[in-house]
Amino acid sequence: MSSVNEVCEVTGPGPAWPAANADWPTIRDWRKETRERLIARRTSISAEDRSAWSERISRTLEAVLEPYAGRLIGFYWPFRGEYDPRAVLTAMRERGSRLALPVIVERGQPLVFREWSPGSLMVQGTWKIPMPESGEAVFPDLLVVPLVGFDRQGYRLGYGGGFYDRTIAAMPERPRTVGVGFELGRLETICPQSHDIPLERIITEA
């Protein structure tokens, strides 16, 4: 894993990658610019492309989740043009899986997962994302994680809060992790830092 003192200089579209030996504030600013660019691209996907790409992702995700029938799976409510995993995950309930959604309790703290099923009472959380109103904290066996961007090493560019890295690190047993998103989010590197945790697998329409 790279550190702030290691080389992180590559070429590509969008904001210039940080130069070699860039410090954390420089990398953080680059991530912010890149995040905004990728979200803008994602929200502008045509309805036709979104449908086709999502169908491909769903087929692969179904196959990847097959061994987790009957297990507890954490997933996410789609936000700002993210791939929508709800149909695939709801189908897993019919195979005996339990599902859980993340709740932001406090900035700078790990997420709390609460069980969810169709018909669960929901409230608007941070960024107006629906979340279960109540419930005991649970610890998923596998997390399906949304991506803004990602790199070839499996590192994820999210929304900048560090919630998933913090959550995975704090869990009593580390869950398996699968990132899902569109290929347009692929980067040569996100310039990973010591607090970044790579995902085990990433699924896109490609």
pLDDT digit string, tens, across residues 174-201:
999 999 999 999 999 999 988 899 999 9
What percentage of the chain exceeds 90 in pLDDT? 73
Alpha-carbon gap, residue 122 to 75, rounded angstroms: 15
Nearest CA among 87, 88, 94 for reference residue 70: 94
Residues 6+ apart with CB under 8 A from 113: 74, 100, 101, 102, 103, 137, 138, 139, 140
Residue 129 has a pLDDT of 87
Indicate yes or no: pTM above 0.85: yes
pLDDT tier, 12 (very low <50, low <70, confident <90, very high otherwise)? very low
Contact of 77 with 131, CB cutoff 8 Å: yes
Q: What is the pLDDT of residues 85-112, one digit of tens each?
A: 999 999 999 999 999 999 988 888 899 9
pLDDT tier, 153 (very low <50, low <70, confident <90, very high otherwise)? very high
* Overall residue count recorded for the chain in this entry: 206
